[in-house]
């Protein structure tokens, strides 16, 4: 089996027609016919998609090839409409301030562009559960169908598999893994910066997979 498919299969998740993660069985063949990944990160005002809001989002569209060649990049801060519902700790992590978000765009404009850049691509991210939940809710609020592929890839799962039983990585948060792989970061808890960190980590994980000959140990 091709190295790329075998490696990505360890993070593969199946989505329902609205984009929600499902517990259903996946197989590497689900990647066949897809040509791009959309490596994303979202920053939110809290953890509840029905109550809180996306306030920053970014994504890198990359070719679904070993090189992960960039095809398009886009990100923007999003204007909150219900900042009073925000969790103060979440805003502190993101670095939110009225001045910093002065030029933020409305969700409908931001999400339309985000969907345009990522249309048909496989959503890919680090610990993607919450990001996918907010993407699903954003689609619902905008009254649009899920614009991405019906599968997603969690890069954290791939890292856990490739570092299983080793001592190189002892915590599976994005910053720690990036540091252990020698990846410099554009910033922390900014959506596009974290999307790029995830993209760079995935590239290094593919290098590690090649060294480990992961193609012989792909999940069934």
CB 138 within 8 A of CB 56: no
Res 220 pLDDT > 70: no
Scanning the structure block, which residue is given the tokens 């801060």?
77
Strand pairing category for 70-77 and 122-125: unpaired
Sheet strands side by side (includes 36-44): 12-14, 151-154, 122-125, 36-44, 54-63, 70-77
Res 69 pLDDT > 70: yes
Tell me, what's the pLDDT at 185? 64
Mean pLDDT to the nearest integer, 9-37: 95
Tell me, what's the pLDDT at 218? 55
Tell me, what's the pLDDT at 213? 77
| Residue 144: strand, helix, or coil | coil
Mean pLDDT over all residues of the chain? 92
pLDDT tens across 136-195, in order? 999 999 999 999 999 999 999 999 999 887 767 778 889 888 888 888 765 666 899 999
Mean pLDDT to the nearest integer, 55-82: 97
Alpha carbons 135 and 19: distance in angstroms, whole number: 8
Mean pLDDT to the nearest integer, 37-57: 97
Alpha carbons 80 and 61: distance in angstroms, whole number: 25
CB 47 within 8 A of CB 89: no
Tell me, what's the pLDDT at 132? 98
In the chain, the N- to C-terminal Cα span, in Å, equals 11
Tell me, what's the pLDDT at 169? 78
Mean pLDDT to the nearest integer, 79-105: 95
The 3-state DSSP composition of the chain as helix, strand, coil percent (nearest 5) reads 40, 20, 40
Tell me, what's the pLDDT at 219? 61
| Residue 73: strand, helix, or coil | strand
CA 128 vs CA 36, 43, 79, 143, 160: distances in Å: 17, 12, 22, 22, 14
* DSSP for 148-189, written as a single string: S-SEEEEHHHHHHHHTTT-SS-S--SHHHHHHHTT---S-SS
CB 55 within 8 A of CB 101: yes
Tell me, what's the pLDDT at 49? 96
Mean pLDDT to the nearest integer, 13-21: 97
Tell me, what's the pLDDT at 207? 93
Domains of the chain: 3-216 (3.30.420.10)
Tell me, what's the pLDDT at 200? 95
Q: Which of 218, 205, 212 is nearest to 172 (CA)?
A: 205
Beta bridge partner(s), residue 125: 154
Tell me, what's the pLDDT at 217? 56
């Amino acid at each position: 089996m091709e190295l790329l498919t075998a490696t990505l299969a360890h993070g593969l998740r199946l989505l329902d027609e609205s984009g929600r993660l499902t517990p259903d069985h996946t197989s590497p063949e689900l990647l066949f016919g897809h040509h791009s990944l959309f490596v994303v990160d979202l920053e939110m005002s809290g953890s509840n998609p029905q109550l809180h809001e996306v306030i920053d989002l970014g994504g890198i569209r990359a070719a679904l090839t070993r090189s992960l060649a960039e095809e398009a990049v886009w990100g923007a801060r999003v204007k909150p409409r219900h900042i009073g519902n925000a969790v103060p700790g979440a805003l502190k992590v993101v670095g939110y301030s009225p001045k910093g978000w002065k030029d933020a765009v409305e969700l409908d404009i931001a999400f339309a562009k985000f969907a345009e850049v990522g249309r048909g691509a496989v959503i890919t991210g680090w610990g993607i559960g919450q990001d996918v939940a907010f993407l699903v809710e954003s689609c619902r609020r905008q009254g649009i169908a899920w614009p991405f592929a019906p599968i997603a890839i969690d890069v954290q799962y791939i890292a856990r598999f490739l570092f299983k039983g080793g001592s190189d990585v002892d915590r599976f948060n994005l910053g720690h893994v990036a540091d252990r792989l020698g990846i410099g970061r554009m910033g922390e808890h900014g959506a596009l910066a974290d999307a790029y960190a995830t993209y760079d980590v995935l590239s290094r994980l593919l290098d590690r997979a090649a060294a480990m000959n992961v193609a012989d140990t792909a999940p069934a």
